[in-house]
Amino acid sequence: MKKRTIVVRDPDFGPIELPVEELSEAQWNLTRERIRARLMKSVLWKPGRIYECPECHRRAFAAAQDLVQEVRRADKVVILKNLHGARCSQCGFRVLDGREELRIDDEYERMSASRHEAAVSRVGRGTLGTYWPKAVERSLELKPGTRLEVDVLAPDSAMIRVVRRPGHNRKPRRQCSKPGSS
């Protein structure tokens, strides 16, 4: 069996062929835990030191322990405060420490979006239709005539995006008549 490879284009050396390692789930989990443990110990920006900002390149990038990050998923929002990282006093650019990024990832997973099944059936001469659960209909505000974009990611997965156009798929406003007019 031939090993899988990918080709990376390097600006200095041209195309480079690299082997792709297939990791088992156990190997993947072990590697992930090792990276997590290393990130939890690391402190990239020492308090009291000033670094060059990666954005504006001024020496104004300093450690901060008061950073705030908003985590959004579907209709849920969590605000995490007192995060560690660094902030530029000139341009405002900020970066979080690795352990804080892990904290955000954990929070994002805790907020995981709900999973639903939709039934696909034949609605007429070779046309397929989908029946959506009420919970999906409510959270996505689906109505008859709503347009959906479907990106096929693989033979067994797809991403669905609701297409919202200004003034489209909204309840019609009631027409109020002025007093005295008929």
Q: How many CA within 13 A on the CB side of residue 182? A: 0
Instruction: Calculate mean pLDDT across residues 79-86.
Output: 90
Confidence of residue 1 (pLDDT cuts 50, 70, 90): low
Tokens coding 135: 């919970």
Is there a domain that residue 143 lies in? yes
Check residues 117 and 64 and name the one with the higher pLDDT.
64
Check residues 109 and 170 and name the one with the higher pLDDT.
109
CATH number of the domain bearing residue 134: 2.10.260
Phi-psi region at 41: left, alpha or beta (left = phi > 0; alpha = psi -120 to 50) = alpha
The reply to whether 60 and 103 lie within a common domain is yes
The reply to whether 153 and 124 lie within a common domain is yes
Confidence of residue 174 (pLDDT cuts 50, 70, 90): very low
- Over residues 97-110, the pLDDT tens digits come to 888 888 888 877 77
Q: Which residue range forms the structural domain that includes residue 156? A: 119-163
Q: What is the pTM of this model?
A: 0.45
CATH number of the domain bearing residue 67: 3.10.20.860
SS3 per-residue string spanning the chain: CCCCEEEEEECCCEEEEEECCCCCHHHHHHHHHHHHHHHHHCCCCCCCCEEECCCCCCEEEEEEEEEEEEEEECCEEEEEEEEEEEEECCCCCEEECHHHHHHHHHHHHHCCCCCCCCEEEEEECCEEEEECCHHHHHHHCCCCCCEEEEEEEECCEEEEEEECCCCCCCCCCCCCCCCCCC
Distances 39 to 46, 98, 100, 101 between C-alpha atoms, Å: 15, 5, 9, 9
The reply to whether 104 and 138 lie within a common domain is no
Confidence of residue 182 (pLDDT cuts 50, 70, 90): very low
Instruction: Calculate mean pLDDT across residues 82-86.
Output: 91
Confidence of residue 70 (pLDDT cuts 50, 70, 90): confident
Check residues 39 and 111 and name the one with the higher pLDDT.
39
Rg of the chain over Cα atoms, rounded to whole angstroms, equals: 25
The reply to whether 99 and 129 lie within a common domain is no
Confidence of residue 166 (pLDDT cuts 50, 70, 90): low
- Over residues 26-53, the pLDDT tens digits come to 888 888 888 888 877 777 888 899 999 9
Is there a domain that residue 155 lies in? yes
**Strand 76-88 and strand 5-10: pairing?**
unpaired
Cα–Cα distance measured from residue 25 to residue 122, given in angstroms and rounded to the nearest whole number: 38
The reply to whether 86 and 135 lie within a common domain is no
The mean of the pLDDT values for the chain is 80
Is there a domain that residue 9 lies in? no
**pLDDT for position 107:** 78
Is there a domain that residue 31 lies in? no
Distances 180 to 157, 175, 176 between C-alpha atoms, Å: 59, 15, 12
Q: How many domains does the chain contain in total?
A: 2
The reply to whether 98 and 129 lie within a common domain is no
